[in-house]
């Protein structure tokens, strides 16, 4: 009788294959220990600079690269485009310091094709494997590794270093309800008075694409964005959005009156919500408990917007890990608002938009390049 238990060889083949690139042997050792505690992850390469990483990638089948920015011989920013040229489907996570300089470099790396970033471990608690660092590291490596495994462009490298035939892509279905295809809502959307966007992993790239198309002046409604990011990074994100789109993009300020023609971004470590004050809608920032393990989180923003604006709310849920935005989106829909989600093929991780799609709250599920025209069409009805 055949056994249903996978062999050790097949189990090893199914593991997410990680390359560590950092000139600190201490950091490489720490990250290796954290990752290899997981049965579905294997650190197959650990090197000290970008040149060594390039040589290894030409010989090895790698799913996720953790790439430090500052290194001798070849730094991370120099190596990034070269690594993506060798394997366009590999997922690269930049290791960044939580400084203005680190944030600016990280966002530039995302524009160049990096999938995500993670704070570089520096504090004593991080170097000892702090819970927050460990949780973020494992979550991002697993999400991006599984996304890479489903990528139809993925190439496998034969032992000799030649490229082997592409492994068939796994079906693009939701991990939440694998057998249930998404069902679209059929309703006539109300002309919106506000547009709200939620995003996480891959979000900056998606936001640059969306707002680069939906440039300043194309719609008159205000836009509120919650992107999962730490403090400092959201400041730099606002600057980048202003540069690529022409919008007046800024972090939301507590008590600020919301005005059309502006983009408001939830500051790192604060939930951004909306309250009604007389005829005005104002921004409120708070440090209530994280939701979906996040602060800022999309759900509280959507609940508050729906309470303030009723059925004249238009929501876009973009690429990201987890399910943040799905419950808030359900409130929006129950009150007559409209939700669109990014499709799986154009998402770095189809977690947040996938959860919204599977919840049956979406009026459309579109590639990122089609979301801006869809939003503009509805916004123009006002």
How far apart, in Å, are the Cα atoms of 329 and each of 88, 164, 263, 326?
33, 43, 20, 5
**Strand ranges in the chain using DSSP code E only, listed in sequence order:** 16-21, 41-47, 64-68, 91-96, 116-119, 156-157, 163-164, 194-199, 223-227, 248-251, 262-265, 271-277, 280-286, 313-317, 338-342, 364-366
What is the sign, positive or negative, of the torsion defined by CA atoms of 31, 34, 35, 36? positive
> Among 298, 317, 141, which Cα is nearest to 228's?
298
Q: Which of 200, 304, 346, 363 is catalytic?
A: 200
Q: Which of 63, 87, 324, 343 is catalytic?
A: 324
**What's the rounded Cα separation, in Å, for the pair 276 and 274?**
7
**What's the rounded Cα separation, in Å, for the pair 304 and 281?**
11
**Strand ranges in 172-312 using DSSP code E only, listed in sequence order:** 194-199, 223-227, 248-251, 262-265, 271-277, 280-286
Q: Which pair of tokens denotes residue 101?
A: 């300089």
Q: 79 and 69 in contact (C-beta within 8 Å)?
A: no
Residue with tokens 């009150």: 335
Query: Among this protein's residues, is 200 annotated catalytic?
Result: yes
Name beta bridge partners: 195.
223, 314
Please list the active-site residues: 200, 228, 324
């Amino acid at each position: 009788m055949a056994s249903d238990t996978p062999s050790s060889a097949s189990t090893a083949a199914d593991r997410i294959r990680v390359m560590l690139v950092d000139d600190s042997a201490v950091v490489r050792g720490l990250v290796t220990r954290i990752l290899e505690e997981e049965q579905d992850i294997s650190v197959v390469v650990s090197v000290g600079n970008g040149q060594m990483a390039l040589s290894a990638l030409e010989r090895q089948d790698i799913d996720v690269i953790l790439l430090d920015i500052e290194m001798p011989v070849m730094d991370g920013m120099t190596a990034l485009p070269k690594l993506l040229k060798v394997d366009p489907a590999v997922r690269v996570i930049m290791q960044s310091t939580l400084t203005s300089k680190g944030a600016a470099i990280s966002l530039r790396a995302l524009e160049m094709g990096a999938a995500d970033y993670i704070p570089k471990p520096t504090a004593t608690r991080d170097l000892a494997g702090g819970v927050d660092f460990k949780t973020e590291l494992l979550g991002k490596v697993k999400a991006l590794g599984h996304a890479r495994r489903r990528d139809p462009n993925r190439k496998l490298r034969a032992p000799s270093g030649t490229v082997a035939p592409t492994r068939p892509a796994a079906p693009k279905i939701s991990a939440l309800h694998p057998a249930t295809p998404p069902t679209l809502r059929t309703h006539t959307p109300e002309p919106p008075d506000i547009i709200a966007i939620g995003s996480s992993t891959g979000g900056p790239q998606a936001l640059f694409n969306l707002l680069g198309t939906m440039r300043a002046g194309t719609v008159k409604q205000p836009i509120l964005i919650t992107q999962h990011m730490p403090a400092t990074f959201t400041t730099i994100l606002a600057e980048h959005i202003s540069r690529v789109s022409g919008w007046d993009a800024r972090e939301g300020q507590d008590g600020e009156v919301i005005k059309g023609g502006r983009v408001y971004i939830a500051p790192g470590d604060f939930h951004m919500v909306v309250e009604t004050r007389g005829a005005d809608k104002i921004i409120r920032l708070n440090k209530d408990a994280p939701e979906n393990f996040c602060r800022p989180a999309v759900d509280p923003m959507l609940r508050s917007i729906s309470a303030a604006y009723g059925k004249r709310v238009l929501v876009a849920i973009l690429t990201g890990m987890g399910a943040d935005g799905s419950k808030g989106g359900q409130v929006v829909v129950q009150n007559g608002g409209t939700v669109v989600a990014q499709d799986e093929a154009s998402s770095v991780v189809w977690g947040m938009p996938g959860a919204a799609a599977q919840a049956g709250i979406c009026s459309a599920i579109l590639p990122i390049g089609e979301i801006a025209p869809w939003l503009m069409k509805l916004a123009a009805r006002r």
